[in-house]
Structure 1
Amino acid sequence: MTIYTPWRKATSFLAGALLLAGCSDDKPTKAEKVAAASVPGAPPQAAADEAAKGAPASNVTESNELIEFVYAYPKEAAQIPELAKALDSDRAAKRAALVAAAERDRTAAEKEGFPYRAHSHRQAWQRVTETPRFLSLSAEIETYAGGAHGMQTFDTLIWDRNRRKQLKPLDLFQSGEAFDAAIRDPFCAAIKRAKAAKGMAVDEAPDSVFAKCPPASAQTVWLGSSDGRYLDRMTIGIAPYEIGAYAEGSYKINVPVTGALVKAVKDEFARDFLPIR
């Protein structure tokens, strides 16, 4: 194993936020402008703070003719033994799955007489924010399985210090349906603006798979904080093929934490949220 610098830096998130700041004819509201200033959910200084900390606490890479594997997580996660153990277990499972698929495909390639292309899995967890109760992490994942192109996906988690338990952001809400109902309008409007910023028209043909705005709860949700005290920022990661062709790439949609959204939060967590005023 050797030390590897993650292929994605926090500035990639900043690029996404700047992209979403671009305006179309559908101008964003004041609340949405505030939300769009986040780096998904993190305070503006987060990128600089993360860069100043240096390499992540756990950063493993393996590169050979069979696979390329990268898995990293920051020191804030490593400082929580239960979370570090869970991430180490996830890393081992991801590597095992990668090796199994790669060995199977290499055997098939040799049998059929065509070149084998090394499979890869690259995943870097980064700190979104910390509050007295929560540590929020985001991950960008790049995979390649020998086809025409690779794939990008996202992941998310929240560590609840009070319960000493790993959660998903949606666990903090009453239900996926309540979450979707609270943010559907600003989420769908933000998607249209993000697509317009890329020069992509929204496909509204009745028979198009991309005609409808997808449920936000089916995407990757990152929760963040502007002040390190309350959860008041949110970004939703959308992988390729979800709202457009592969060529469009992924999207990071900033959505305001409104009073309506906070009303959808479970009572246990309501005091940890602060809506935009």
Structure 2
Amino acid sequence: MDSLATAAGSAVAPLLEDFSLEMTGKDISGLDGARACIPPGTRINITFLGNEDPGTRLAAARAVRRSGCVPVPHISARRLRSRSELDAFLAALRSDGTADNVFVVGGDPATPHGPYDDSLALIRSGALRAHGVRHVGISGYPEGHPAIAHPVLWSAMEDKTAALAGDDLSGDIITQFGFDADPVLAWVEEVRGRGIDAPVRIGVPGPAGIRRLLTYAARFGVGTSASIARKYGFSITNLMGTAGPDRFIRALAGGYDPTRHGVLKLHFYTFGGIENTSRWIADFRAAEGVPSTEGTGGLHRSLP
């Protein structure tokens, strides 16, 4: 291996040592195909889609656990119709042995379907701890949110991390994906400047069609100017190809300073499918000279 590959690998390795993935309840067959490429102990988030029922989400969490990975079911606060619905879902997770880790999000509905206006209300309900949850992920938005003002986002993050600490729950922050590493790193510095020291998992789009990437970016308010697109590695005038996050990850690794940014890891959104994304990660790690090691869920090994 030449010295350039070794240097690149040494910079990228800390971000990839404990990466996480995302899937939906419909991706169980893809998970089976990807198993050989996913290190045991990898955290796999399971999204809370409005068109999937609880049984589908529970089946996905069981499949992740069977694969030797760590299931992280999502809970969408505004989609819950009642406290009893929340209790039933958490009780089912606990019965399956998949309740240790969850991710809470406000959710898409403009009007709550039940008693929870946002993920903070869900955390403050006490239901998570009561049902055996030990670790909770929350959202971060380096480029802001199309429907929520910046001051509100910062206040919510501070309140959620404080509420988790008050409930003796550990947590991490998973960010929305983006195409430009510079605003992401600047945002993480502000997170640390506000006294929030939770690990941050930087959202990364797995390899996917350019048209699909731009569609998701428009939905979530992610910047896609021509200069950002070129920096990432695609052209907004040519939508026929695919793009992977290799340039973004290298740029992130190049600017990452643990003394300023704390613990950073990568979280892959599998827009092109969990199997394709997992294979891409394995190939990228090999190309960058990152040692092939088994996943351990290392950020959370100290959990009781």
Question: What is the TM-score when the length of structure 2 is the normalising length?
Answer: 0.26
Larger of the two Rg values belongs to structure: 1
More strand by share: 1
Q: Bigger relative contact order, structure 1 or 2, given CA contacts below 8 A and separation 6+?
A: 2
Q: Could you tell me the TM-score, scaled by structure 1's length?
A: 0.28
Higher helix share: 2
